[in-house]
Amino acid sequence: MGILERNSRNIDNRCWNPGIKAFPVKNVYTAGVAGQRFFEELKENGKIYGSKCEKCGLTYVPARIYCEKCFDHLLEKDWVDVGIEGTIYSYTLVCKTKSGGPKEKPSIMAAIRIADGLLIHRLGDCREEELEIGRPVKAEFKPKQDRTGSIEDIMHFKPL
C-alpha cells in the first residue's frame, strides 16, 4: 500500500479476529494530514508546500499541522506554495552503497533550505567542485506520469 493510499474499511484498523493467526497489518506508515497534502502537491502539481504560522512568521517545509515554536494549529489556510527553489544548507559526497560496498559513481546528498525548513535530497547535474553552502538550487521533478507521491518525485536539486 502506497503512502497516498488509504484503507477503505475502518474496521481493518480497529478489529482483529483472534481466530486469525496473523495480525492484518496493512499500513506501515501514514504521512498525516499535512504530509499527505505535501506529497499530493509533489505528485499532481510539481509543487513544494509548506505551512506558515501567522503568529511566528515561520514557514515550515514540509507542511505541518502545528507550529513547533508556539504550538498553534496550522490549518489548510496556512498551507503555502513555497516555490521549487532553495539554497544548499549542507552537503556530502556519498561513495558507498546502503550495504557498505563501493558505489559505481558517487552521489551528492544535501540539506536544502526552503523557507524555514530543510529537505534532504540529491544534488544532480553538477560537480562537487562547483558546490558551496548557500548556493541557490532548484528542484527538478520526474515527468508527471512517473510520479508516485513520494519525495522521489523530485529527481534532484540542480544548482542555479
Interface residue list for Zn ion (CB under 5 A): 53, 55-56, 67, 69-70, 72
Which CB sits closer to Zn ion, 55 or 103?
Answer: 55
Nearest distance from C-beta of residue 74 to Zn ion, angstroms: 8
Nearest distance from C-beta of residue 33 to Zn ion, angstroms: 17
Which residue is at the shortest CB distance from Zn ion? 67
Nearest distance from C-beta of residue 101 to Zn ion, angstroms: 45
Nearest distance from C-beta of residue 50 to Zn ion, angstroms: 13
Q: Are 153 and 98 in contact (CB under 8 A)?
A: no
Which CB sits closer to Zn ion, 60 or 157?
Answer: 60
Which CB sits closer to Zn ion, 19 or 57?
Answer: 57
CA angle centred on 38, ends 125 and 51, rounded to 5°: 110
Which CB sits closer to Zn ion, 70 or 120?
Answer: 70
Q: Which three cell numbers stand for residue 82?
A: 513555497
